Structure 1
């Protein structure tokens, strides 16, 4: 049976007036707050050459990207599935600054498949990135800004899960795993498949089991880091990763932090601290981020970088408040200068004023009007809308 012409593809949806108004208000609130923290807004194009969009991000982004052929150049284009590579290109190639650069962004991205069964294939992605500082101080700043952003969005409860990609890479190097084995291990840990992990280490040298078997159990509060120091091999990469996570605990102790040392989200491009934020009882993360020092290499400068992104569609759902509107004012479509002046006074005060077009009497309430401008005693006054 053919779909009606008004039907949308699965996991795409329209944003209707009330939700769109909330989304736009939140977008402005967050971008203005980013600006107050020194993050400058950039607006990349929605389409780029494919190799620029997926360079340095691994196969995950390539599989998520819609592809098309450019009729001008003949090259393959990609419809962006993530704005972070674009912002990295802007920092590395266009701005080309030597010091620290803070950038923010907001725009729609399109993905071939949804991230979860409840998410859209067209997220409205908003985020912030820091370039040019290798130290853990940048990670502290970005996690703090993330928590502040979710509070501004109305998150009632919050949990921020932290991990470290450097720890995993140090363990696999210590265990002597090649690239193929590491990729297989990544899939096992992402699925939290402990029996498969035991099967993976079986028959391999004991150093492999010692390095990997403790990982699935290393999740929880800050005490996890103390356990990790005793349960994981004492190698430099592991020590430095745990040290960075302990630094975050020290400087972000007022935030609800938890740890999952087997979480490999962003495995193909993250290089250090990684994090995911959760709100309420939903199992899906409302924000993702972490350090990705190598992505800029594709654009000629592998600058240190860390940041986070969120979906405005998800964020507007965090605040469970029902939109309360004061309604709009209906005004005559034609009148003298005094009417025009009265309308401007109302709009300057923040009121919505709609002009009454002929032939629609009785239908203005569905457009949101609950009052009207009428001329009484020589002056324009706002009164309740007549039935």
Structure 2
């Protein structure tokens, strides 16, 4: 095998795409800051006991593990940064007030998360800690939609899918037989496997069974919530979940095409309330996911209400058109003080100045030299090319 081949679903990022990705990262982080979010940088690896605590089985299966030659203990390479940020909030910052944190960095997955997905996403996200009210969920949802708007996706190009783990948990709370099958029910509902649900729920209470069989069909526009109130039991947990979904759907109207799917429970083991996924043209997978996860902090000894979202910048950048090549200036190589001073002035003014090394032509993907710096009558002046 040639030594330059990379593992499956791992790829180099070439100049044009790298520039798009970096510009998106800067735009989004600056926008997070305008909302009051503080940037943190968790480590790429840490002890598995800390990294995977409270993260759920899905994250554990996606995480690379290795032995630390210094301590002999097992380390994990992060597959997600949310639990790391929750640890920072719980132990390093240890604030009593509302805390807004954001982050951006590479994560590694043992397997790709979707069709054509990379195993090395560049994850960016934002989290709010310390507020249990729906206002925090609405702000995070707004911030996620604003991030896609910064990438150039209009309201008519974005679909927001809403779901809520509270519906299933309320159904299971009063049925011991159903509680024993919680993991299997989660899998069947995600697959909308109605025959499987029918078979597994034979021994459940009639009301629980009927509600579980109805969940796969409860998807569509916001009118689904009215149907859900008719066919699902009027349990306090379900009533509250449907009311929260109605409020979040209302806050997104005009900014995205809103859909409800009460069986879409991706992240069920991890989330604790309302969840959302964002879709854009050109990607079969959700481009961003978010939701409430109030219980993650318990693993670090300090439970705090929490909600947030994240997306993969590399996946998003691939959808964007290649940027036009930036007009730039070609200059000769030399150490003459007048030449160096002129180049410094141009760069300070925002120009890209590329000095031609002796014996070589310039060849770039991102720059187009449309002007040249030449010496005339002892002065360095710009001349147009072509």
Q: Is the 8 A contact 1:211 1:232 kept in 2?
A: yes
Q: Is the 8 A contact 1:125 1:311 kept in 2?
A: yes
Report the Cα offset of residue 150 of structure 1.
0.5
Match of 1:293 in 2: 294
Please list the CA deviations of residues 79-102 of structure 1 after superposition, one character each: whole Å capped at 9, or x if unmatched: 110011111111111000101000
Among residues 126, 132, 135, which one is paired with 1:134 in the alignment?
132
Q: Is the 8 A contact 2:172 2:179 kept in 1?
A: no
C-alpha distance in 1, partners of 2:356/2:165?
A: 60
What secondary structure is seen at the aligned counterpart in 1 of 2:247?
helix
Please list the CA deviations of residues 302-356 of structure 1 after superposition, one character each: whole Å capped at 9, or x if unmatched: 100000000011221333x331013432222213221111101221222222222
Please list the CA deviations of residues 113-142 of structure 1 after superposition, one character each: whole Å capped at 9, or x if unmatched: 000121000000000000000001100111
C-alpha distance in 2, partners of 1:217/1:359?
A: 69
Summarize the Cα distance change of 1:86–1:20 in structure 2 as closer, same or farther, 3 Å threshold: same
Report the Cα offset of residue 175 of structure 1.
3.2
Summarize the Cα distance change of 1:210–1:76 in structure 2 as closer, same or farther, 3 Å threshold: same
Q: Is the 8 A contact 2:326 2:368 kept in 1?
A: no
Q: Is the 8 A contact 2:175 2:204 kept in 1?
A: no
Q: Is the 8 A contact 1:104 1:129 kept in 2?
A: yes
Report the Cα offset of residue 191 of structure 1.
1.1
C-alpha distance in 1, partners of 2:364/2:217?
A: 56
TM-score by length of structure 1 reads 0.94
Moved more, 60-69 or 346-355: 346-355
Q: How does 1:251-290 map to 2 (within 5 A)?
A: 251-255=251-255, 256-280=257-281, 282-290=283-291
- Structure 1, unaligned stretches of length 5 or more? none
Match of 2:67 in 1: 69
Asked whether 1:196 is paired with 2:199, we answer no
C-alpha distance in 2, partners of 1:292/1:198?
A: 30
Summarize the Cα distance change of 1:176–1:378 in structure 2 as closer, same or farther, 3 Å threshold: same
Q: Is the 8 A contact 2:90 2:300 kept in 1?
A: yes
Report the Cα offset of residue 373 of structure 1.
1.4
Q: Is the 8 A contact 1:222 1:258 kept in 2?
A: yes
Asked whether 1:305 is paired with 2:306, we answer yes
C-alpha distance in 1, partners of 2:64/2:240?
A: 39
Match of 2:319 in 1: 318
Asked whether 1:186 is paired with 2:193, we answer no
Match of 2:330 in 1: 330
- Structure 2, unaligned stretches of length 5 or more? none
What secondary structure is seen at the aligned counterpart in 1 of 2:174?
helix
Match of 1:167 in 2: 167
Please list the CA deviations of residues 251-280 of structure 1 after superposition, one character each: whole Å capped at 9, or x if unmatched: 333332211011111011100000100011
TM-score by length of structure 2 reads 0.95
Q: CA RMSD in A?
A: 1.6
Match of 1:380 in 2: 380
Q: Is the 8 A contact 1:26 1:153 kept in 2?
A: yes
Q: How many residues are matched? A: 381
